[in-house]
A and B are shown apart, each in its own frame.
Chain A
Amino acid sequence: MLLQPFHGGVRLPPHKPGDAAPAPQSLPLPPELVHPLPPPGASGACAVTVGQRVRRGQLLAAAADARGAAVHAGSSGTVTAIAPRPVGDGEATCVVIATDGRDDSAPLPPLADWRELPRERLLERLAVAGVVGLGGAAFPAAAKLAAPGTILILNGAECEPWLRSDEALLCHGAVEVLAAAQLLAHLCRATRVLLALESRMHGARAALQAALAAPGAGGVELVAVPTRYPVGSERQLIRVLTGQEVPSGGLPRDLDASVHNVASAVAAWRAIVHGEALTERLVTLGGRGVRGAGVYRVRLGTPVAHLVAHAGGYTDAAARLVLGGPMMGQAVVHDAVPVLASTQAVLVLGADELRAAAPERACIRCGDCAAVCPAQLLPQTLLAQLREGELEAAAQQGLSDCIECGACAWVCPAQIPLVQLYRDGKSALQVQEDERARAAQARARHLARAARLARDAAERVARVAARAPATAPAAAQPAATAPATPAAAATTAAAPMDKAAVLAAIARGRARRQAAAPAGREDAP
């Protein structure tokens, strides 16, 4: 099959020795599991209470919305707290479970006859089981699969250095991956199924070919894509495999394609065939700062400290802890955070594996960032616009198309944190959009109120006229003074308040409260 190159990208040192990934190792159950609840309004969605015993796979919180996913207990035990805990580089309300070691589970009824079941029933199961994308974005699989695509692409190209979780799955679980491919092809109504893996994954390729030779398997094309970061990104992979570009602001479904990570596909298959909720994932442990590097089968909610301790502990070289890949992952300051569905890797990088910290210098206009940008943006222009606060102009330049791969910052000789700027800019754009939605709502309510006031005024006039039919000419007079249009009504109703009056009211309230506070204390016994 003819592969197309994608624009830009960088070649990174792989840090992946050997032809095949090591087999996933199991980890003893941690004494405590920490499951973040979906934000916001988390307490409303929470389905358990403190002190309750839960089993593995039991629902802790239902999905908050279409973009959220249901959360399930990683093992059996007792809920000891529902409280804010550190998660990633922030904090979230979490369900904390003290595990009891029995690890008994509460599976959903298996749907072994999925070929006969309606599509909606299967999608509903995926939503209930909390299956999300395991490639890093953790987007709900049910929402993503709701849009069918004639080309199904299974993404096994984890192009970031160190990451080997998907490769380990392909090497040691090829049969499951192919079974999952058939399920997803059924769900997408796909006519063509491609399984993309990197050209250096020789072990995975051999395992998949062996599995494909088995009777009943098949219908899946293996495609080895060149290892060039970020080929594993959805849009770039589509470009490489089909030669087509996902349009700006569009989705793969616009090209009739559907891209799913191989691990997510297997999670979806297990949820349907075995009735298992998403409670574990493969996590790569790597870097010179940790002993026992490899791939681990980790329950979601396991504290990173537990994983590191059981793998062999930190070495003296440990300099930085990263959740996820070195390019798109998140550096965290301590290891008390849990492994989430989006945590493909836990990297403890040594000082020599990090780029030497150097102060940022002025942009020298070398253009390297534009050359490597896979989204074909102009990073220099965006930099200037964002530094000037020209968010709108940056949006017009395609800021939202940035996939945050970090290639620009990686090649920048002036050490400008470009991708961080774009990430901040994108969240600022999101905030602006939310503000605009709020403003539109306020405008609509304001207009509705003006219309109501005008209607009230007109009704009052009509009532007066009806009450005194004899003095009709006189009654017509108030009608003339009544506001004629909604806008005029709004003007009279919401006459500008005297600013001094507002300030005086605030001051009055403050003084009264201050006066009331000591008095209240005296009243108390």
Chain B
Amino acid sequence: MTATLLAAALLLGLVALGLGALARRAGADVDLAARIDAVLPQTQCGQCNYPGCRPYAEALARGEADIDQCPPGGDAGARALARLLGRVPKPVNPAHGTPGPRVVALIDETTCIGCTKCIQACPVDAIVGAPKLMHTVIAAECTGCELCLPPCPVDCITLVPRAADAAAVPTRSTA
């Protein structure tokens, strides 16, 4: 008798927990996704297998994605996601890429044929140029997402360390 009652109570409890979880998930949500999006690096590189940072944030909010899928964010980013989502911290999954120093794209202007394919691929409109005219990257806007590399028919785009980190010294001197 007691056992049956206990079992029933346990069952009810489980059902209540499940309902609560469901309710939480349904409300989960724009707000959480925005908060996750706020800690993502916004490279829009798609290395997480989602088409940008916001979709990855939404997948995380729905509980579909793991916290270790963002190489540009690095281990620190994964830690921030873990804290935000109450999950166990873990390093970035190498299957998605290895965290490294932040880079920017650089177009070799002598090789560029002006095909505009990279301009169309750039998720943050950081490449300027016109058809059959040389293109160039606005370094301050480039997120280093590498999405401009595959479409380039002449392979004239390389990735270089970000200027602010390399501390480019102006070379206007010693005549």
Of all chain A residues, the one with the shortest Cβ separation from B97 is A499
- A43 at the binding interface (Cβ < 8 Å): yes
Query: Which of B5-13, B16-24, B60-68, B119-127 forms part of the interface with chain A?
Result: B119-127
Please state if A442 and B54 are interface contacts (CB–CB under 8 Å). Answer: no
- A89 at the binding interface (Cβ < 8 Å): no
Residues of B within 8 A of A497 (CB): 46, 146-147, 150
- B116 at the binding interface (Cβ < 8 Å): no
- B53 at the binding interface (Cβ < 8 Å): yes
Which residues, 370 to 418 on A, are CB-close (under 8 Å) to B? 389, 391-392
Which residues, 81 to 122 on A, are CB-close (under 8 Å) to B? 81-84, 91, 93
Which residues, 83 to 123 on B, are CB-close (under 8 Å) to A? 83, 97, 121, 123
Please state if A494 and B125 are interface contacts (CB–CB under 8 Å). Answer: no
Which residues, 419 to 459 on A, are CB-close (under 8 Å) to B? 435, 438-443, 445-446, 448-449
- A241 at the binding interface (Cβ < 8 Å): no
The answer for the CA separation of A82 and B169 in the assembled complex, in Å, is 11
The answer for the CA separation of A504 and B146 in the assembled complex, in Å, is 12
Of all chain B residues, the one with the shortest Cβ separation from A439 is B42
Please state if B155 and A442 are interface contacts (CB–CB under 8 Å). Answer: no
Please state if A494 and B170 are interface contacts (CB–CB under 8 Å). Answer: no
The answer for the CA separation of A392 and B97 in the assembled complex, in Å, is 25
The answer for the CA separation of A508 and B159 in the assembled complex, in Å, is 14
- A474 at the binding interface (Cβ < 8 Å): no
The answer for the CA separation of A498 and B149 in the assembled complex, in Å, is 11
Q: Would you give the shortest CB distance from B50 to chain A, in whole angstroms?
A: 7
How many residue pairs bridge A and B at CB < 8 Å?
A: 112
Residues of A within 8 A of B51 (CB): 490-491, 494-496
How many of chain A's residues touch chain B, expressed as a range? 35 or more
Residues of B within 8 A of A498 (CB): 150
Q: Would you give the shortest CB distance from A175 to chain B, in whole angstroms?
A: 43
Residues of B within 8 A of A502 (CB): 146-147, 149-150
- B80 at the binding interface (Cβ < 8 Å): yes
Residues of B within 8 A of A491 (CB): 51-52, 55
The answer for the CA separation of A438 and B126 in the assembled complex, in Å, is 13
The majority secondary structure among interface residues of chain A is helix
Please state if A50 and B52 are interface contacts (CB–CB under 8 Å). Answer: no
Please state if B46 and A494 are interface contacts (CB–CB under 8 Å). Answer: yes
The majority secondary structure among interface residues of chain B is loop
- A512 at the binding interface (Cβ < 8 Å): yes
Please state if B149 and A51 are interface contacts (CB–CB under 8 Å). Answer: no
- B143 at the binding interface (Cβ < 8 Å): yes
- A31 at the binding interface (Cβ < 8 Å): no
The answer for the CA separation of A504 and B42 in the assembled complex, in Å, is 24
User: Which residue of the partner chain, among B41, B44, B80, B156, contacts A509 with CB atoms under 8 Å?
Assistant: B156
Residues of B within 8 A of A44 (CB): 170
Residues of A within 8 A of B44 (CB): 442, 446, 494
Which residues, 467 to 517 on A, are CB-close (under 8 Å) to B? 487, 490-491, 493-499, 501-502, 504-506, 508-509, 512
Please state if B52 and A446 are interface contacts (CB–CB under 8 Å). Answer: yes
Please state if A487 and B41 are interface contacts (CB–CB under 8 Å). Answer: no
Q: Would you give the shortest CB distance from A23 to chain B, in whole angstroms?
A: 40
Q: Would you give the shortest CB distance from A200 to chain B, in whole angstroms?
A: 43
Query: If A494-B46, A494-B123, A499-B47 touch, does A506 touch B170 (CB 8 Å cutoff)?
Result: no
Please state if A442 and B55 are interface contacts (CB–CB under 8 Å). Answer: no
Query: If A491-B51, A509-B149 touch, does A446 touch B76 (CB 8 Å cutoff)?
Result: no
Which residues, 23 to 66 on A, are CB-close (under 8 Å) to B? 40-44, 46, 50-51
Q: Would you give the shortest CB distance from A32 to chain B, in whole angstroms?
A: 15
| 16 contacts across the A-B interface (CB closer than 8 A) | A93-B173, A389-B76, A389-B79, A439-B42, A442-B124, A446-B52, A449-B125, A491-B51, A491-B55, A494-B51, A494-B121, A496-B50, A496-B51, A497-B146, A499-B47, A509-B158
The 6 closest A-B pairs by CB, nearest first: A43-B170, A509-B155, A496-B46, A439-B42, A442-B42, A445-B124
Chain A residues with a Cβ under 8 A of chain B:
40-44, 46, 50-51, 81-84, 91, 93, 389, 391-392, 435, 438-443, 445-446, 448-449, 487, 490-491, 493-499, 501-502, 504-506, 508-509, 512
